[in-house]
Amino acid sequence: MAPIDSKEIQKGLQSKTLGRWISYFKTTTSTNDEAVRRAQEGGQEGEIFIADIQTAGRGRLHRVWESPKGKNLALSFLLRPSLSPASATLLTLAAGAAVFEAVWGFLPEPIRSTLKIKWPNDVTLEGKKIAGILTEMASEGGRVDWVVVGIGIDVNAEPSDFSPEVRQIATSLRTVTGTEYNRNLVASRLIDSFEHHYRTLNEKGPEDLIRFCEKHSYLKGRRVSAEENGKQVIGTVLGLDPRGSLQVKTDDGTICNIIVGDVNPLERS
Ligand code: BT5
């Protein structure tokens, strides 16, 4: 399996800012740890941190992100956007859109049509999770100081590489197509696509991104169970509001905006 090679990734890039600086780690705890550290030391917008092996990959709420050695993609972007802290969800969605486009390009029909963005931070294929995003940030005086967007994509992992629990819910490009992929190429596509969505968001606002995420949504139109302010919400997903919150219409007609949390469909996909 080809190792991660930042020069190879850069060769494949068309992006202007993102990916000009790529820090590669054979092994690290988490690429988000590396990016956060650089952010605190004054690192610049667009720096990327990528690793072959993560020994303590993490998800939200201290969950574990499994990174089978040298098989998948784990990378983090350091950003310094002029957005309000409330826009963090939009950056997660921009990363979801970028993962969607990068992965889509490697899939044949008809599997392609099962690729979906699952609000707020997953991408799914055939109803299973193929990627996760972890966004972390620091703000001061109502302004964002830095944002780290960490992305994990299951590229070449096989089911036996995952723990029994994760095996039930995860998939990979290789699992569904039977082909091994060059992770450097997947990384280049991801970076180019993220730059596109990130720029559009900054320059034109969230409309295009919201439309894209709704079009490829795993949850839109489904009955779901969600949690808002510690209260369970059951209803049908209408779409996203301009801040990227999930709009759920409950049975009594109330529209709830879910800002963060886990949302799961009540029926099977
Ligand atoms: C996420 O959290 O999905 C965010 C994952 C972000 C990973 C990237 S890798 C680069 C950067 N460095 C890091 O340390 N993190 C970021 P969450 O929505 O909380 O989902 C976590 C759950 O996903 C776990 O509890 C498992 O159920 C499942 N899971 C763990 N590893 C997985 C994998 N490799 N593929 C699919 N699902 C996985």
Tens digit of pLDDT for each residue in 136-187?
Answer: 999 988 899 999 999 999 999 999 999 999 999 999 999 999 999 999 999 9
What is the model's pTM?
Answer: 0.97
- Ligand 1 centroid to Cα of residue 141, in Å, is 31
Choice from 25, 62, 65 to test ligand 1 binding pocket (greatest atom count within 8 A of CB)? 65
Confidence at residue 227, expressed as pLDDT on a 0 to 100 scale = 87
Write out pLDDT tens, residues 213-269. Answer: 999 999 999 999 998 878 899 999 999 999 999 999 999 999 999 998 889 999 765
Which of 176-180's residues contact partners 24+ apart within 8 Å by CB, and which partners?
A: 176/107, 176/111, 176/125, 176/126, 177/106, 177/107, 177/108, 177/111, 180/1, 180/156
From CA 69, how far away is CA 26, in angstroms rounded? 10
Confidence at residue 142, expressed as pLDDT on a 0 to 100 scale = 87
Q: Please state, rounded to an integer, the average pLDDT across all residues of the chain.
A: 95
Q: Label residue 2 by pLDDT band (50, 70, 90).
A: confident
Confidence at residue 268, expressed as pLDDT on a 0 to 100 scale = 61
Pocket of ligand 1 (CB under 6 A): 30-32, 54, 57-61, 63, 65-66, 74-76, 121-122, 129, 132-134, 150-152, 154, 166, 169-170
Residue 170 CA, closest ligand 1 atom number: 36
CB atoms near residue 81 (< 10 Å): 18
